[in-house]
Structure 1
Amino acid sequence: MSGLVNALMIAGVVALVIVRQFRAQRIGSDRRWWLVPVILGVVALRKPGIVDTHHRTESIVLLGAELLIGLAMGAGWAWTTRIWAEPDGTVWSKSTKASVTVWIVGIALRVGLFALGAAIGVHQDSSALLVALAATLLVRSGILVWRGQSLDSVSAHGPAYGDGVARPAWKERV
């Protein structure tokens, strides 16, 4: 049952993240941006099934590769996210089309790792994927908070992929 709970948690977090990434979100440095990734990491590490005892070396190598992909995916996602500061000083972020590419490449690499592990006979638990997802979210959030702090309230835009593209004006309807 624990594997099913982990799989449902992973699916829920990924669905939430994908839905929310294309909506403008306020970045607040005072929030606990690290809390959700830490909780996911604790949930993933709470049981010993993260490393296959029969293929310890191969399992650890696959876990390390999974973590590296998660870290790279988080950094890529953060750097392809557009951030800007409003005149009132609030900092906002919104993912771009390049962020979709980062997700597609990251998922493809993870599927490849899973296939490699299955080919060599390594039992792979969902905990490894959950740890990598936690690393992805932690790196992305940390970089966005850092980038947001570097913006001053005078500048309207921060450097990111997609800058220079005109934003559609809001239309008021009466």
Structure 2
Amino acid sequence: MSGFVNALMIAAVVVLVIVRQFRAQRIGTGRRWWLVPVILAVVALREPGIVDAHHRTESIVLLGVELLIGLATGAGWAWTTRVWADPDGAVWSKSTKASVTVWIIGIALRVGLFALGSALGVHQDSSALLVALAATLLVRGGILVWRTQSVTPAASATTAYGDSMVRPTRKERV
């Protein structure tokens, strides 16, 4: 796959994720939350240019740092996401303003890492970014699924004695 197609895939996934993260979403622990990150990782790892052949050591170090940034961004994003349960037991999540800060810091670190790689003369393929994005989504999904196990349903409104009784309405006299 060409670098342009990878860049489009990365942009599409990031836009989809950012748009969806600020809507309340039901978390299904039974669904395959790991599938999209695994597909992204497989697509990225199939590319031969993930490591620069002329700067092998520097390229591997940059890739490792990129993965660490991705893992930290995913963990930060998951821990700044609000998680709650409805009275019926359905678990929901919605990102907060702190999640935006995590994304901004993660993107800034990635831009700085790309600038460092360019200064060192390392050819950087979009596959490294795709792998880091897969790591971000995988860690976020895993932590959210783990957090849902400790969320208890919200207490339903309790009724006081006699609340279920129908009370006659009184007519006002003028």
Q: TM-score, normalised by structure 1?
A: 0.88
Distance 1:106 1:7 in 2: 17
Distance 1:107 1:43 in 2: 21
Structure 1 residue aligned with 2:144: 144
Distance 2:153 2:34 in 1: 24
Shift of 1:154: 4.8
Structure 2 residue aligned with 1:78: 78
Structure 2 residue aligned with 1:56: 56
Structure 1 residue aligned with 2:132: 132
**1:71-109 CA-partner distances (Å, limit 9, x unpaired):** 000000000000000000000000000000000000000
Distance 2:128 2:5 in 1: 14
Distance 2:54 2:155 in 1: 56
Counterpart code for 2:103: W
Residue 98 in 1 paired to residue 98 in 2? yes
Residues 84, 153 of structure 2: 8 Å contact kept: no
The two structures, once aligned, show a CA RMSD in angstroms of: 1.1
Counterpart code for 1:72: A
Distance 1:45 1:57 in 2: 18
Residues 85, 155 of structure 1: 8 Å contact kept: no
Counterpart code for 1:149: Q
Q: TM-score, normalised by structure 2?
A: 0.88
Shift of 1:110: 0.1
Q: How does 1:10-21 map to 2 (within 5 A)?
A: 10-21=10-21
Taking structure 1 as reference, are residues 150 and 115 closer, same or farther at Cα in structure 2, changes over 3 Å only? same
Structure with larger Rg: 2
Residues 85, 153 of structure 1: 8 Å contact kept: yes
Aligned residues: 156
Structure 2 residue aligned with 1:24: 24
Taking structure 1 as reference, are residues 43 and 155 closer, same or farther at Cα in structure 2, changes over 3 Å only? farther
Structure 2 residue aligned with 1:120: 120
Q: Which runs of 5+ in 1 are unaligned?
A: 157-174
Distance 2:115 2:42 in 1: 26
Structure 2 residue aligned with 1:168: none
Structure 2 residue aligned with 1:169: none
Distance 2:100 2:154 in 1: 30
